Amino acid sequence: MNKMIPKHTAVMIGLKKTAREIFKYYSIDEHTQQFTGHAIALHPTDEYLDQIAKPSFDGIKLYSYSLSRYGNSPYIYPVWGLGGLPEGFSRLSAIHGGVYMLNKPVSEIVYNGDGTVAGVKDLEGKVARCKQLICDPSYVIGTPKIRKAGEIVRCICLMSHPIPETNNADSCQIIIPYHQIAGRKSDIYVFCVSYHHKVVAQGKWLAVVSTNVETKDAVSEIAPALNLLGKIDEKFLWVSDYYVPTDDGTKDNVFVTSSYDSTSHFESATEEVIAMYAKITGSPLDLTITAEPDDLQEQ
């Protein structure tokens, strides 16, 4: 018999009970828990099971809302690829007085006498001045600003067909919970787009497989995901270091992000951007506006 409780009561339970307790109350089996927690709520580990359930509820609600809003998928992807995002940012930046410096490799970060950032120096010795610097770990390699926290294996695969058993989908995302593969401690992610998104030639599909490296044989670690793809025309595999910042950047005004992790849904990257905004500005980012048409107003 299904256990039904009023909506407001469910919210109150979520505020007080852990996700594990909620799953147990509804007699949800282990495989459904794994799918719900990792593929819907997008938790990378099982730590959420012993935490208050409300954040997980919020993640499930967001997934459901997005699915109902965008059709047969909760995800959206820009036509012509992710390169459209920095292009859009650059245009918005220019409107607000920002300046882009292209093809200017940074040779070093310049500091003031008090240890705060003064700017960045290019290979010609010219310094672009700034009061705050936001960068990824590649700009501070070899400094105490970051530490290596692991390695990520990624494999780009080109195919002439959609991923089998996906109903001939133009795009999809597959998350393999680590419980499904004996001995693993982290999920494996498969992200797939196609010529419909203008990122590959006509009639081609592109899949990216990624996960945390846990052994000395990174290739075998992604084999379960590669086996799902069917015939692969060509693939490109590499392993990259994963870095995390060692401080919050408020002392020297150099704010360093983490490296991109193995996830393919950008949830962790989004959370880091929101957290960094609060560190830099001293106030949280206001995201109370919804995506409903009535709430979207011209600024």
Percent of the chain with pLDDT over 70: 91
7-70 in CATH: which number?
1.10.405.10
Q: What is the structure's pLDDT at 292? A: 63
Q: What is the structure's pLDDT at 99? A: 85
Cβ pair 179, 34 in contact under 8 A: yes
Distance CA 227, CA 181 (A): 13
CA 49 to chain centre: 21
Residue 53 has pLDDT above 60, yes or no: yes
Question: Could you tell me the two tokens for 181?
Answer: 């593969």
Backbone angles phi, psi at 253, to 5 degrees: 65, 25
Band of the pLDDT at 108, cuts 50, 70, 90?
very high
217-233 tens-digit pLDDT: 999 999 999 999 999 99
List the chain domain ranges: 7-70, 148-286
Q: Which of 73-77, 192-196, 263-267, 275-279 has the lowest mean pLDDT?
A: 73-77
* Topology (CATH level 3) of domain 148-286: Guanine Nucleotide Dissociation Inhibitor; domain 2 (3.30.519)
Is this prediction's pTM over 0.85? yes
22-25 CB contacts, 8 Å cutoff, 24+ apart: 22/53, 23/49
Residue 1 has pLDDT above 50, yes or no: no
